[in-house]
Structure formats: C-alpha cells, structure tokens
C-alpha cells in the first residue's frame, strides 16, 4: 500500500537546525531550487507574501514552487486573523510544510499594512492570528520576530510577547537578535545599526525550554551556526547564504550528519541546474530571473569574476537559455573547484 505523500509530509518532523531566511526579492522559487541543490536538508523559506496578495491577487503564481524544494515554508504578512486563516489554508493546500507569520520586518510598507515588526506591540493580536491559523491547518504555524522594537526593548517585553503568542498555539519562534527601530532607520540600517544581542535569544531558550527557538541575524558561517546550536534548536542564515551560497555546501554533513562524500562541486551543481533552467526558459521565464541568484556560486575561485560578468552581460537576451550558463561555467577552471573537495 502506497503512503499518501500529503499525509507523509504533514506527519514529518521538521528539522530546523539550519534554515535560510525569507528575503524579499531574493528567496523566490528559482533561488530556492538552486539552494536545494547545495543543501538537501536546510529548511527554505519563501519571500513574505501578504494576505492581500493571496486573497485578491494571483495566488497560484505567488504560491508556485517545485516539489524538489521540500522542506519549504511559506511566510505570510498580515494582521487580520480571518484573512490569515484563509491564506494559511491556501498555503497548506499548495503543499508547503509550514506557514510562518512575519512579526520581524521593519520596512515602512510593512508598517503601513499593519504587519511585520510593529505587531510586537500587539502580542494579543499576534496570538489571535496564530490561533486562527492553527484552527484551520495541520502544518506547523510559526512566528518570526525581533528581540524587541523601540519603546518595547526590555527583555520582559520579549518574554511577555513569547508567552502570550504561545497561548495561541505557537511552539516555534525564529528570533532576530536585534531590535527593530520603527522610526528613523531604513530596513538596511535595521539590519546593521541595532547591535546583535545573541545572549537575549539564548535567554529565551533557557526561560522557555519547551519551545523551539531559532536564532537569526548576523550568522555568516556554519561554524558560527554550530556554536549557537549547542544551546538553541535552530539557526537561520540570511544574506551570507544568498551572497555566497556555496557556504552551505557542508551544511548537510556538519549540521545534519550526512556523509561528506555527498557534497557536490560547484560545477556539478550548475550541471544539475541546467535541466531546470531549460524547462523554465521553455515556459517563458527570462534567463536573468534565474541567473541573478547564482552569480555568487564561484566566489573565491579563479574565474569567478568572468563567470559573473558573462552571465550579467548575456543573460538578458530574449533568446538566452541554458547554453549561456554552460558557456559561463567553462570560464571557471574545474580543477580548482574539485580540488577543494579532496
């Protein structure tokens, strides 16, 4: 008797030891497919999708993903329990492994829509949003937040937020180890100016040992992730994993216990990407929508600059296809790539 894949997916225990952060304009379905070729086990996240986009826009396009991306979570932005419940049902029906509520983004357009980090000032509303989603889906409902916002940056404020939201049924929090300054700082400045306070996230885990607590913010390497994993349930990497994606190549062995022999070279990752690129181009996707995500793959190797330049100059042609990527790859000597695996 065959197992229903939907049932198998819902019953699978989520391994959150390493995840890749939801990043606007970056972690689209093309990037996630690429990252999955580098790491088989890391949990991937979509860009934030607003409830309005799903309820009133092209939901199939926003929710589209490849089955190869599993495990993959969908992050929602919103503050209406009713709308979030409807959107969460759509996320589950689309096949995602988790639905995550954004309570951490500090951008102006997020605040104007009454979601993101400003919701840390309304823990009861976040609780109600989580409860509404939990009532209608069987996949995990999680929350990504900051350690605080300006005016609510005491540890007790964060502890009260966690305790309140857990009452709605949330047992998993991804905590960015900076406060969000909602006035006067841009989103970029909010990633750089407020100091990282890793000790606060570790204190949350000590105070809420039954909850799954993952840390986000400033983690650049797998070695740094391993240090945090000695006390925490997970680490979420962001821009470092996007700008230098091959930094994830050892994730499956170092963090998830796979044999190091399964690590792929950069060239082999590109070769595995080619059939996907061909299929996407055949469906009308412009090549540059895909290649913009792979520019950093050969960082640190001789020929990396030629790879980036060739893709940047040639991927915008209307006729560009996988052959452009093959030609770019030929500019990077393979012996330097494979020697690093020896």
pLDDT of residue 113: 58
pLDDT of residue 9: 39
Predicted TM-score (pTM) of the model is: 0.93
**Do residues 273 and 321 lie in contact, with contact meaning Cβ atoms separated by under 8 Å?**
no
For residue 1, what are the CA distances in angstroms to 8, 9, 11, 158?
13, 17, 17, 48
Q: Mean pLDDT over residues 287-308, rounded? A: 97
Active site residue 105: yes
Domain range list for the chain: 5-245, 264-339
**Do residues 281 and 311 lie in contact, with contact meaning Cβ atoms separated by under 8 Å?**
no
Half-sphere CA count of 152, side-chain side, radius 13 A? 19
pLDDT mean across residues, the chain: 93
Q: What values do phi and psi take at 118, rounded to 5?
A: -60, -20
pLDDT of residue 183: 80
99's CB contacts (< 8 A; 6+ apart) are: 73, 74, 75, 76, 88, 91, 92, 133, 137, 139, 140, 141, 142
- In 3D, which of 312, 306, 313 has the Cα closest to residue 330? 306
Fold of 264-339: 1.20.120
pLDDT of 231 > 90? The answer is yes
* Of 74, 105, 129, 145, catalytic: 105
pLDDT per residue as tens digits for the range 267-292: 999 999 999 999 999 999 999 999 99
pLDDT per residue as tens digits for the range 19-56: 999 999 999 999 999 999 999 999 999 999 999 999 99
Cα-Cα-Cα-Cα torsion 166, 170, 174, 178, nearest 10 degrees, comes to: -30
pLDDT of residue 336: 79
pLDDT per residue as tens digits for the range 181-225: 988 888 788 888 899 999 999 999 999 999 999 999 999 999 999
pLDDT of residue 146: 97
The top-level CATH class assigned to 5-245 is alpha beta
């Amino acid at each position: 008797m065959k197992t229903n894949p939907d049932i198998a997916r819902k019953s699978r225990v989520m391994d959150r030891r390493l995840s890749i952060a939801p990043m606007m304009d970056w972690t689209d379905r093309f990037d996630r497919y690429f990252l999955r070729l580098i790491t088989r086990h890391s949990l991937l996240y979509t860009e934030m999708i607003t409830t309005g986009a799903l309820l009133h826009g092209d939901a199939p396009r926003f929710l589209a993903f490849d089955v190869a991306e599993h495990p993959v979570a969908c992050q929602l932005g919103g503050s209406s329990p009713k709308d979030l419940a409807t959107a969460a049902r759509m996320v589950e029906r689309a096949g995602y492994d988790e639905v995550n509520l954004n309570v951490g983004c500090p951008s102006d357009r997020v605040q104007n829509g009454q979601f993101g980090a400003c919701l840390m000032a309304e823990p009861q509303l976040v609780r109600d949003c989580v409860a509404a989603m939990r009532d209608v889906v069987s996949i995990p409902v999680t929350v990504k937040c900051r350690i605080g916002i300006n005016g609510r940056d005491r540890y007790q404020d964060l502890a009260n937020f966690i305790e309140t939201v857990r009452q709605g049924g949330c047992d998993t929090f991804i905590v960015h180890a900076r406060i969000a300054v909602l006035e006067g700082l841009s989103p970029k400045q909010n990633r750089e100016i407020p100091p990282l306070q890793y000790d606060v996230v570790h204190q949350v885990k000590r105070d809420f040992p039954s909850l799954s607590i993952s840390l986000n913010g400033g983690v650049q390497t797998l070695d740094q992730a391993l240090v945090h994993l000695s006390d925490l349930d997970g680490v979420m990497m962001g821009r470092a994993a996007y700008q230098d994606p091959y930094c994830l190549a050892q994730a499956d062995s170092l963090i998830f216990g796979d044999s190091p022999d399964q690590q792929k070279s950069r060239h082999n990752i590109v070769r595995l990407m080619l059939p996907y690129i061909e299929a996407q181009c055949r469906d009308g996707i412009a090549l540059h929508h895909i290649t913009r995500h792979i520019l950093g793959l050969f960082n640190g190797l001789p020929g990396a600059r030629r790879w980036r330049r060739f893709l940047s100059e040639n991927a915008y042609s209307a006729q560009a296809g996988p052959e452009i990527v093959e030609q770019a790859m030929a500019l990077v000597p393979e012996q330097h790539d494979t020697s690093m695996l020896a």
